[in-house]
């Protein structure tokens, strides 16, 4: 006789846990909502002490409906976006964790809620509603995560399809300086830099009509490229703050000198490997310089990319395998995080993520195959969960936040998720 355990495929909450309907259509923006976004941008943008510039390209005469895609590093991006498209009405996609405590305001502003990195059919329906019924702008931050190294993250392949289906132009808003001002890996400490953004119509309605979905995606991919460190150097922008490297070890977790992982720390303007003792300093132009011997990578995104290549090699040669006991929190609605206690998580190329735990006396097993997750939502010093580093496993009805034993795994898992997806879907 076999004694097979029975698992639930979702965490078993009590029946009275308040859910949030993600499929809820956004409201058509009222004049008051639009005015409120105007007031917010007018109040926030002057706080940028080194100024803010917006350049409009191919935007003359363009009227909604259209799709607006923007890169996103911090809350000031909302002010830039609101300012860039005023006085046109829009509906903006926002992640469920952004709704935490602020859901009433976001609903009034016309936002629509989604869970990151899931197939959300209701979002497709809401996109159609905004463009075809309201005749307004459908706005989103398509990377669905803050860039770790100030360069473009993976874009969802469904964007081209959305544009084609709705036969509307595509506009791209690229912010520069927002990452340097508040890098994802140190987002509680501001660096003084100017902001510069471009808003550009990259595909007209006619282009969309005549091009294949693949071609549309290629153009979006190309136009969405950015590199804030390169922009800093090209524009000779000096970051003089004495804490400018603080937090950098969160993304640069592998030492290129002794190859060890999770041994880097950062302090002031320095990044050091605690294993071999090698130290790099971050210059005022955002470059790295080794204090001893060779500077392996002066450009921070090159170091990050090198780590990505190493993870890819591990996946391909079969040496990549992650297994850990993690602290977990569930976020089924938008109202409360639930402490789910400890759980076991594994990640590899064959099975993707498997999370097993027990809550409310019921065992659960959450499986995210490699092909179901093209990227991973991670957070550094996540304010909603006492400032810890964590990653999120999304399900249809829940967001499970996991805190790994080794902090650096948050970054490595994000790279492994993206590379595994590419390998399986090539």
Binding site for Zn ion (CB under 5 A): 255, 257-258, 273, 275-276
Q: CB of residue 150 vs Zn ion: minimum separation in angstroms?
A: 24
> What is the nearest approach in angstroms of Zn ion to the Cβ of residue 260?
5
Q: In the complex with Zn ion, which residue's Cβ is closer, 348 or 407? A: 407
The residue behind tokens 């009222």 is 30
Give whichever of 116 and 257 is closer to Zn ion, judged by the CB atom. Answer: 257
Residues near 98 by beta carbon (within 8 Å), at least 6 away in sequence:
106
204 is written with which tokens? Answer: 């007209």
Residue 133 DSSP code: I
Distance CA 193, CA 354 (A): 42
Give first-to-last CA distance, the chain, whole Å. Answer: 43
**Structure tokens given for 327:** 């602290």
| Angle, alpha carbons 359-364-366 (nearest 5°) | 125
Shortest gap between Cβ of 264 and Zn ion (angstroms)?
8
Question: Judged by CB, which is closer to Zn ion: 54, or 276?
Answer: 276
Minimum CB separation from Zn ion for residue 256, in Å? 8
Tell me whether residue 47 or residue 258 sits nearer to Zn ion (CB atom).
258
Nearest of 197, 135, 190 to residue 166 by alpha carbon: 135
Q: What is the DSSP string of 294-324?
A: --S-SBHHHHHHHHHHHHHHHHHHT---EEE
Q: Cis omega before residue 54 (within 30°)?
A: no
Distance in angstroms (rounded) separating the CA atoms of residues 95 and 82: 18
Residue 260 vs 372, nearer CB to Zn ion:
260
By beta-carbon proximity to Zn ion, the closer residue of 265 and 339 is: 265
Which residues sit opposite 114 in a β-bridge?
A: 95
Cβ-based nearer residue to Zn ion, 21 or 294: 294
Collapsed DSSP state (helix, strand, coil) of residue 355 = strand
| Pairing of the two strands 170-176 and 377-382 | unpaired
Q: Tell the smallest beta-carbon distance from residue 257 to Zn ion (Å).
A: 5
- Pick the closer one to Zn ion by CB: 154 or 311: 311
The Cα–Cα gap between 49 and 47 comes to 6
Shortest Cβ distance from residue 271 to Zn ion (Å)? Answer: 11
In the complex with Zn ion, which residue's Cβ is closer, 306 or 335?
Answer: 306
Instruction: Give CA–CA dist 391/409, Å, rounded.
Output: 9
Minimal distance in Å, beta carbon 311 to Zn ion? 18
Q: Check whether the bond before 65 is cis (ω within 30° of 0).
A: yes
Task: State in angstroms the smallest separation of the CB of 258 from Zn ion.
Answer: 3
**Which residues, 6 or more positions from 259, have their beta carbon under 8 angstroms from its beta carbon?**
none
- The distance of closest approach from Cβ of residue 265 to Zn ion in the complex, given in angstroms and rounded to an integer, is 11
CA nearest neighbour of 121 among 150, 95, 158, 155: 158
Beta-bridge mates of residue 356: 344, 365
Nearer to Zn ion, 238 or 258 (CB): 258
Q: To the nearest whole angstrom, how small is the minimum distance from the Cβ of residue 247 to Zn ion?
A: 19
């Amino acid at each position: 006789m076999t004694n097979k355990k029975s698992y639930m495929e979702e965490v078993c909450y009590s029946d009275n846990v308040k859910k949030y309907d993600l499929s809820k259509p956004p409201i058509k923006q009222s004049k008051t909502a639009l005015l409120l976004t105007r007031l917010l941008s007018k109040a926030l943008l002057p706080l940028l002490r080194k100024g803010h510039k917006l350049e409009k390209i191919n935007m003359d005469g363009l009227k909604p409906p259209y799709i607006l895609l923007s890169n996103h590093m911090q809350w000031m991006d909302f002010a830039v976006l609101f300012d860039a498209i005023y006085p046109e009405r829009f509906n903006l996609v926002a992640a469920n964790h952004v709704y935490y405590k602020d859901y009433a305001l976001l609903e009034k502003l016309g936002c629509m809620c989604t869970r990151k990195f899931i197939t959300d059919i209701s979002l497709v329906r809401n996109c159609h509603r905004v463009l075809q019924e309201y005749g307004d702008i459908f706005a989103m931050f398509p990377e669905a995560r803050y860039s770790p190294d100030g360069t473009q993250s993976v874009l969802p392949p469904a964007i081209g399809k959305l544009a084609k289906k709705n036969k509307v132009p595509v506009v791209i808003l690229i912010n520069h300086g927002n990452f340097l001002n508040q890098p994802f890996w140190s987002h509680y400490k501001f660096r003084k830099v100017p902001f510069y953004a471009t808003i550009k119509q990259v595909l007209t309605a006619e282009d969309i009509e005549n091009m294949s979905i693949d071609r549309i995606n290629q153009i979006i991919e190309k136009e969405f490229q950015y590199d804030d460190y390169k922009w800093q150097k090209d524009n000779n922008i000096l970051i003089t703050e004495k804490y400018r490297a603080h937090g950098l070890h969160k993304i640069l977790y592998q030492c290129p000198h002794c190859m060890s992982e999770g041994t880097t720390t950062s302090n002031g303007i320095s990044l050091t490997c605690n294993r071999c003792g090698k130290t790099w300093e971050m210059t005022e132009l955002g470059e790295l310089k080794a204090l001893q011997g060779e500077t392996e990578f002066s450009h921070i995104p090159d170091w990050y990319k090198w780590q990505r290549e190493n993870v890819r090699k591990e996946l391909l040669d079969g040496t990549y395998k992650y297994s850990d006991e993690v602290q977990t929190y569930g976020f089924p609605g938008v109202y409360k995080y639930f402490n789910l206690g400890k759980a076991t998580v594994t990640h590899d190329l064959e099975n993707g993520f498997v999370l097993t735990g027990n809550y409310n006396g019921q065992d659960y097993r959450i499986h995210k195959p490699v092909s179901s997750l093209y990227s991973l939502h991670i957070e550094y010093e996540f304010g909603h969960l006492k400032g810890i580093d964590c990653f999120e496993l999304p399900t249809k009805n829940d967001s499970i936040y996991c805190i790994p034993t080794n902090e650096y795994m948050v970054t490595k898992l994000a790279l492994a998720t993206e590379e595994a997806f590419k390998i399986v879907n090539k």
